[in-house]
Structure 1
Amino acid sequence: MKFTDWGIIDYKEAWDKQNEIFTQLIRAKSTADYLSKIDQLQQIIFCEHPHVYTLGRNGNVSNMLIQEDRLKSLNATYYKTDRGGDITYHGFGQIVVYPIVDLDALHISLRQYVCNLEEAVIRTLMHYNLKTERAEGATGVWFDYNTPSARKICAIGVRASHYVTMHGLAFNISTDLSYYNYINPCGFIDKGVTSLEKELGKSVNMEEVKVILRSELDKLLQF
């Protein structure tokens, strides 16, 4: 599968580029030579965004705890999106992954696809001797979910149409976690957020994490 790294990119620009690839893949599904082109049509995109808050299509705007006019002082922007999930934050030091893939070709359901995204992050964290888990009814990757110290390290929100996916996951590596103070992350008021560097208590090479995560995604999103 084709991997691309867009580097640091504005959220809206990335959303527009995703939509273009997403639409092309949906249109291509009806063509006779689709399967011969699928390797180039499907993509897994890595990127990093400047400070931005995004609200999912079924999210509750009340989970944004500040007025939009305060965003400028935080050097942040805000968008209502067409992905699933509630409100989240993207920023520097976070690996954002946008797989634009055909679930029909992968022979998996949307639910299994989301589980595979979670599993890729769980396996990546195992490389750092960190044990995480998924939680029933709370998409993403968590530490100690059923305890008072529950904290999320990776949020997931996707969109699918004609079994083609877009949007994806946000994995905190060296993220400035103070930006989460201005929202109820993913709609939760009683659970925290964390990052790989916070859990390890030391700095981490982001490119190294990308290589591991890419390898795990490649294993889990095979034809």
Structure 2
Amino acid sequence: MAQFTYEDLGLKDYKQCWDYQETIHRQVVDDKLATKNSSELNRFLLVEHPHVYTLGKSGDEHNLLVNGDFLRKIDADYYKINRGGDITYHGPGQLVGYPIIDLEKYRLGVKEFIFKMEQAIIQTIAEYGLHGSLKEGATGVWLDAEEPALSRKICAIG
């Protein structure tokens, strides 16, 4: 079973959190290179961000459905990032988790890891009486996925 160091970062600016993740990632890589073995420095960060929109490397700016005036009105930041996904919103009241894990140690590819995360979320929300499921062609966990008019994402991954 994987061992993690958990950190609750509270409310933190997206860029500060990104820089912190990059520092941890560099430590994991350096540890792995120094020991010529798997890293034991797995982390799981939980954070809440002020209003921020991110555009992933496979995203399209035309999918941002708000304009600069709205971003200024809600004091939102906007970043182009080197992660997957399209446009993502993070904001107050939304819990965001960032796992930083040596997947090679567990012989996991990214897709399998994402699937395992989705299954863990489905099991967790079931404890609260919510029925989560996967949606064909989309990552994340959805409520009422079988009813398109009611379908909504409860957990985004990417």
Does TM, scored on the shorter chain, surpass 0.5?
yes
Q: Which structure carries more relative contact order (alpha carbon 8 Å, separation 6+)? A: 1
Give the match for residue 8 of structure 1. 11
Contact 2:142 2:153 in 1 (8 A): yes
Q: How far off its partner does 1:34 sit?
A: 4.5
Using the size of structure 1 for normalisation, the TM-score is 0.65
Q: Which 4+ residue blocks in structure 1 deviate beyond 4 angstroms?
A: none
The CA deviation at 1:134 is 1.1
Higher helix content, 1 or 2 = 1
Cα RMSD for the two superposed structures: 1.4
1:59, 1:5 → 2: CA distance?
29
Once residues 136 and 83 of structure 2 are traced to their aligned partners in structure 1, the CA distance between those partners, rounded to angstroms, is 20
Q: Which residue of the other structure, out of 12, 31, 35, is the alignment partner of 2:34?
A: 31
Contact conserved, 2:131 with 2:144, CA < 8 A, in 1?
no
CA positional deviation for 1:124: 1.3
Q: Which runs of 5+ in 1 are unaligned?
A: 158-223
Q: Which residue of 2 aligns with 1:121?
A: 121
User: TM-score, normalising length from structure 2?
Assistant: 0.91
Equivalent position amino acid for 1:111 in 2: K
* Identity among equivalent pairs (%): 44
| Letter in structure 2 aligned against 1:49 | H
* Count of aligned pairs: 154
Asked if the contact 1:53–1:87 (Cα under 8 Å) also holds between the matched residues in 2, the reply is yes
For residues 13 and 59 of structure 1, the distance between their equivalents in structure 2, rounded to whole angstroms, comes to 22
Shift of 1:63: 0.9
Structure 2 gaps of 5+ residues are: none
Residue 25 of structure 1: how far off its partner (Å): 1.2
